[in-house]
């Protein structure tokens, strides 16, 4: 029955998946904290305008991918497709300008009505950071360094490449934009329909087109570096020097663009060749005009977002397994009551403990193996009378007597 399947492009996170997700977000949160980013959570839905204004009505997300609905009060709401807009909205709503610069980390679900395929979901999860209120290029360096440190902590930095570009300041971008419009207009008959539509409103996005014909034209298109003014060149130079000082390698990629006007200066992505076509794991950049575009005070910002599903796939088997429990195995009525108490003692001491209550001894030991226990704590009437239990380590079958009044110490895995 279709209703009993998850909605297309969504998935259940069963314990192994959930552990991998938690591993990614917990490590990321810890590393972000060492860089001074504190966690925030904004609502998973916002007024549609929050996204319509910030993502621009020509972006893929707004034109095709938003989950928008009218609620019972007649408000148009949208499930967040990304979290930068929500964090910036929160910055304005909470009057945080007086505390700027602020540094935030987030982790949570995002929603986009995309064509589902490997690595591309309709409900997916992102971690991200935003540094709001700092116009200096060192803020860009700090944000990138934090992303890189998270990839290192996850053990996957060596599987990724940092691609880096600059979109310059407003003047540079306008000059470049004009050059692109002129160039592509001269070849308009060879452009895909989608790129024709973008030509006037969002010509930078053509550089990003996946259409064969477009790509050929793009190969000979004007390059941004020829249109950068000295201020923009300086800004980018400082970013590169900062990365050099930190030993963070990068590959310059002049095709790395963001289509919207408030994106400026640094644009970057950490990409991998290990995930096929969906190779971008972390994407970010500077968005100095975004908060103003939303209706707030003119405030610069820089940040990135990374897909937890893609990070988890890269982390793969390196994610920690579940703790192996001690299984308490009582034999006899008196022992059953003692088992409850013994398990509580272990649990209170932070040791994962389970019971095996049903069937004969053989069946109970089978259960212990099934839940991947490292030890069985066997309680029999004889032992009980003497105030002890048998602790059997399951990997080697060795057994030793342990005192019931000092169980927690005896059952710590050595």
Chain residues binding ligand ATP by CB under 6 A are 82, 112, 114, 120-121, 124, 126, 280-281, 283, 305-307, 309-310
Q: Give the burial string for 71-110 (b: 16+ CB within 10 Å, else e).
A: eeeeeebbbbbbbbbbbbbbbbeeebbeebbbbbbbbbeb
Pseudo-torsion of CA 363, 369, 374, 379, nearest 10°?
A: -10
Strands in 301-307's sheet, in edge-to-edge order, are 38-39, 102-111, 123-132, 301-307, 280-286, 264-272, 160-166, 251-252
* Closest separation in Å from C-beta 240 to ligand ATP: 22
* Closest separation in Å from C-beta 92 to ligand ATP: 21
Q: Which is nearer to ligand ATP, 72 or 210 (CB)?
A: 210
* Cα dist from 207 to 177, 187, 256, 257, whole Å: 11, 14, 8, 7
Q: Which is nearer to ligand ATP, 123 or 254 (CB)?
A: 123
Cα–Cα distance between 112 and 123 in angstroms, integer?
A: 7
Q: Which is nearer to ligand ATP, 259 or 330 (CB)?
A: 259
Q: Which is nearer to ligand ATP, 204 or 306 (CB)?
A: 306
* Closest separation in Å from C-beta 279 to ligand ATP: 8
Cα–Cα distance between 224 and 332 in angstroms, integer?
A: 79
Q: Which is nearer to ligand ATP, 64 or 99 (CB)?
A: 64
Q: Which is nearer to ligand ATP, 9 or 36 (CB)?
A: 9
* Closest separation in Å from C-beta 149 to ligand ATP: 18
Classify 156 as helix, strand or coil: coil
Strand residue runs (E) in 66-189:
67-70, 76-79, 102-111, 123-132, 160-166
* Closest separation in Å from C-beta 137 to ligand ATP: 21
Which residue stretches of 350-389 are H helix? 361-370, 381-386
Q: Which is nearer to ligand ATP, 115 or 344 (CB)?
A: 115
* Closest separation in Å from C-beta 357 to ligand ATP: 42
* Closest separation in Å from C-beta 283 to ligand ATP: 4
Q: Whose CB is nearest to ligand ATP?
A: 307
């Amino acid at each position: 029955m279709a209703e009993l399947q998850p909605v297309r492009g969504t998935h259940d996170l069963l314990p192994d998946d959930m552990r991998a997700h938690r591993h990614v977000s917990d490590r990321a949160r810890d590393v972000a904290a060492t860089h001074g980013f504190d966690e925030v959570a904004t609502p998973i839905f916002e007024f549609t305008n929050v996204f319509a204004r910030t993502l621009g009505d020509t972006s893929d997300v707004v034109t095709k991918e938003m989950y928008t609905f009218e609620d019972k009060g007649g408000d148009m709401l949208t499930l967040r497709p990304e979290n930068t807009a929500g964090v910036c909205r929160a910055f304005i709503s909470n009057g945080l300008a007086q505390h700027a610069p602020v540094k935030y980390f987030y982790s949570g679900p995002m929603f986009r009505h995309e064509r589902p395929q490997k690595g591309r979901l309709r409900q997916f999860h992102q971690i991200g950071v935003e540094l709001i209120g700092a116009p200096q290029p060192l803020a860009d360096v700090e944000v990138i360094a934090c992303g890189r440190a998270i990839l290192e902590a996850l053990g996957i930095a060596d599987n990724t490449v940092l691609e880096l570009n600059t979109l310059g300041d407003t003047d540079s971008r306008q000059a470049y934009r004009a050059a692109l419009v002129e160039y592509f207009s001269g070849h308009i008959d060879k452009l895909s329909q989608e790129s024709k539509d973008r030509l006037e409103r969002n010509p930078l996005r053509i550089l990003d087109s996946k259409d064969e014909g477009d790509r050929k034209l793009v190969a000979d298109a004007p390059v941004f570096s020829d249109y950068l003014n000295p201020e923009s060149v300086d800004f980018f130079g400082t970013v590169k020097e900062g990365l050099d000082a930190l030993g963070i390698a990068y590959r310059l990629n002049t095709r790395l663009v963001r289509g919207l006007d408030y994106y400026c200066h640094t644009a970057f992505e950490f990409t991998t060749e290990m995930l096929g076509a969906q190779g971008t794991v972390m994407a970010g950049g500077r968005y100095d005009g975004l908060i103003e575009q939303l209706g707030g005070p003119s405030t610069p910002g820089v940040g990135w977002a990374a897909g937890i599903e893609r990070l988890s796939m890269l982390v793969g088997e390196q994610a920690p397994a579940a703790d192996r429990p001690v299984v308490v195995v009582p034999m006899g009525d008196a022992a059953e009551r003692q088992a409850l108490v013994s398990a509580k003692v272990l649990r209170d001491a932070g040791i994962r403990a389970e019971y095996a209550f049903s069937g004969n001894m053989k069946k109970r030991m089978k259960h212990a193996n099934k839940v991947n226990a490292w030890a069985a704590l066997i309680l029999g009437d004889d032992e009980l009378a003497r105030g002890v239990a048998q602790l059997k380590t399951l990997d080697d079958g060795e057994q030793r007597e342990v005192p019931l009044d000092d169980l927690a110490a005896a059952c710590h895995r050595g």
